[in-house]
Structure 1
Amino acid sequence: MSHAFELLADYERRSLEHTPGTPEQIDASGLWRGVGYRIGQRRLASMFGEVLEIITLPHLTPVPGAQSWMLGVANIRGTLLPVVDLRMYLEAERTVLHETQRALVVRQPGGNVAVIIDELLGQRHFTDEQRCEPGDLAAGRYADYVKQAYDLGGVQYGVFNMAMLTRDVDFRQAALA
């Protein structure tokens, strides 16, 4: 019995000795943090402040007369959100939907929107020393949204600006012309 108590006391002691990073270390100058994800072959990241939440693929209700990249609307906790296939919008190639699919809920003027991604890669942290030119990550339609990139152990991540996307006139016009 005393062995279990001693073990718990040791856990408590080590826990109290552990000092988490200070705010200065967490928000260190030159440190960029965001949500990493994949669209097609591109690895991208968006700022935490641009992504409100990450959700599983909700049940969709199609919207007649909408662009092909507009998958429909979904009821997310009582709020109807438009759901967009981001790969279809950017590359004119449909995302293969599956039950483990994720969507990023992004704030846009007039309400939020959910954008479907191919794969969620989790939190990513980059430093100024890892900054590089976006190169092919900014090719095609991505050029409007990817202005910088980071190299993380030989893998490049383009910084995708969701705020620019949601202000884009083409993106906001989901109805067929």
Structure 2
Amino acid sequence: MWRGVGYRVGQRLLASEFDEVVEILPLPQLTAVPGAQPWMLGVANIRGNLLPVVDLRLFLEGERTVLHEGQRVLVMRQPGGNVALTIDELFGQRSFLEEQQSSHEALSGGRYSGFIERVYKVGGHAWGVFSLDRLSRTPEFRQAAA
């Protein structure tokens, strides 16, 4: 059995390893960063630490996340400090059985292909196991300056 944190980005249902997720927070107040990539929304002061906030959907799909009241960010580790990622919806803990494992193709198109490790099919819905570790090591993601 595999367990992780479930969330939605755009139309894709994703889950990430518990040890890749530091915490989940309401969207903090942001300060824009001049000259940054469009997907870099800004930085936030979280308990005295500056945290970059990234629009994950814009980075992966080229479409901006529609920010709303109650918006959440998922905080992940990366070398040099944590990063917050916008998510469209939070589902909390998700568990998947090995026999629910399915083909990658439905979820791993486009930019997702390098980050989806496997797919589970549950109740007619495909859940992709999204590697935040791989995301954090992607050169383009690490280079937020435009």
TM-score, normalised to structure 1, is: 0.81
2:68 alignment partner, one of 84, 92, 98: 98
Q: Distance in 1 between matches of 2:71 and 2:31?
A: 17
Q: Which has the higher helix share?
A: 1
1:50 alignment partner, one of 20, 30, 39: 20
Counterpart of 2:82 in structure 1: which amino acid? N
**Residue aligning to 1:173:** 143
Aligned residues: 146
**Residue aligning to 2:81:** 111
1:61-110 deviations in whole A, cap 9, x for unaligned?
00000000000000011110000000000001000001210100000000
Higher relative contact order (CA 8 A, sep 6+): 2
**3-state SS of 2:82 partner:** strand
Gaps of 5+ in 2: none
**Residue aligning to 2:55:** 85
**Residue aligning to 2:102:** 132
Counterpart of 1:143 in structure 2: which amino acid? S
Counterpart of 2:3 in structure 1: which amino acid? R
Deviation >3 Å, runs of 4+: none
Contact 2:106/2:126 (CA < 8 Å) preserved in 1?
no
Q: Distance in 1 between matches of 2:69 and 2:80?
A: 29
Q: For the pair shown, which has the larger CA radius of gyration, 1 or 2? A: 1
Q: Distance in 1 between matches of 2:80 and 2:114?
A: 22
What fraction of aligned residue pairs are identical, expressed as a percent? 64
**Residue aligning to 1:164:** 134
Q: How large is the RMSD of aligned CA atoms in angstroms?
A: 0.6
**3-state SS of 1:137 partner:** coil
**Residue aligning to 2:120:** 150
Q: Distance in 1 between matches of 2:143 and 2:87?
A: 20
